[in-house]
Structure 1
Amino acid sequence: MNINPIVSPKWLLARMYEPDLVIVDCRFVLGSPESGKAAYAVSHIPGAVFLDIEEDLSAPVGTHGGRHPLPEPLELAARLGRAGISSASRVVAYDDQGGLYAARLWWLLRWLGHDDVYVMDEGFAAWQAGGFPVTDVTRTVVPASFVPDVRGDMLADVGEIRRALGDPGVLLVDSRDASRYAGEQEPIDAKAGHIPGAINRFWKGVLDDQGAWLAEPQLREQLAPVIRALDDGREAIVYCGSGVSACPNVLALHRLGYPQAKLYAGSWSDWISYSDNHIASGEEE
């Protein structure tokens, strides 16, 4: 199992032309969906392909499933194959948001049974700041065959979350910022608050002030309540607004040796799509 999926720009620079390596640009800006693709067209890591969070790595939005619904596994596998990712590929993803969107691809690939996937630390800005090569040339992609082997135990749905309410054996972890968790503001979704019983661990807490991933001792401190729960044999289910920003917390737990943490993929935007689901506010830690 790939315990440390974070790699440095120098690590990638040394391997970027190896034939089994596929580099994926996952840049995206919420509320400006074309900006990532436009940034890729201007400048990207040589050889990188572009995958869009909404067009490629999510299903169309429906009544339920949240703002970034999970794609069907076979459809996602086909899209990955068209991007040149095979079942034998090593994949390195990057973005310019501290790994927020790259971690979504990391999680999706692992969900499909593919472990050889990494996130580049610090993102494209660090690559540029290091003086490493960039290009505006789009790679010619040779389609590949990606055969999924879905790991259903990585995923939680709304029914599992409902059953978890009041269950001392399950810890719910909200990855949004503290004000959204507390219900003080909600700039994106239709209702404010959090799932009852959830604790808050903002996903950016896994990064330092420069946007680099924390070292393991600091990660353990940031995620201490979750680690205690897992060490006690409890289950941890991580969520956010739409199943994207929870992925860095899931990745951090994986890095620390806790791959059993689940993702509630629909997250808050799915939870509030059911009118009978309860909503909490304030602090619960």
Structure 2
Amino acid sequence: MFIERFIRYLQFEKRFSPHTVTAYRQDLTQFNEFLAVDNLDVLTISHRDVRSWMLLMMEQGSEAKTVNRKLSVLRSFYKFLQREELSNTNPMIHIKAPKVPKRLPVVLDEQKMDSLLDAELSFESSFNGMRDRLILELLYGTGIRLSELVNLTDHDVNLYDQYIKVLGKRNKERIIPVAAPLIKLIKEYQREKLSQNFNNKASSLIVTNEGNNAYPQFIYRIVKLNLSQITTQEKKSPHVLRHSFATALLNKGADLNAIKELLGHSSLAATQVYTHNSVEKLKSIYKQAHPKA
């Protein structure tokens, strides 16, 4: 009952995305099932019960990042219960999150990425090949998220002023400039899409082989398949292209605040992680080139 009330709050007041709401529901359901084993109730538990759940997850192999995400969900849940005067206590007050080891964002080599996108034989000379190339060009050339690409429509592309309009997290809209070569590719793709005479009227800019709206797993497969041509690293996801976009801008001297706006980050702290990659690159250049290194 209380969980469903919180879920409705996330959906209709906070306006979280369906994907985020589903994740919150799953985490809270998992916690509730843990409590049910000992006939405990969400309103009467203490911080010791939350710690027991934390220990169980870590014993089962959950990473600190995963545990922290679930604890964040619980914090939001109990704050909601207190605000709605459904509970007088908050068991999360005495809970400390486990430390997460710092990991630098995985990025792709710029030269290899350029060689993939510029090579004539990298993509098939067909509508599907043109679409696959556009997917990689958009992700690498604008830094948009996978969900943002899936939701991008033809109307969100301004060919004349050369920008795309993106609806990001929590329905925040932002404008991202697009380079002239990418605008040209979008024009060619849209003409080719019209010539396919797909029976259905897909609203998305990116469509499947049958002309239906593209979906996340479809995009992910295309990205992974094409990145396999240039890298053996384990991560070959759309988010790696987003990391690579941000790192490339930073390496070329772009202002951190500008990168923050392009990525749609709510705080500068989220963007600052890319500065570590740039420092590591400088260290590498120093070691290779400096006579005293």
Establish whether TM, by shorter chain, passes 0.5.
no
Higher RCO, 1 vs 2 (CA within 8 Å, ≥6 residues apart): 1
The structure with more strand, counted as a fraction of residues: 1
Larger of the two Rg values belongs to structure: 2
TM-score normalised by structure 1 residue count: 0.29
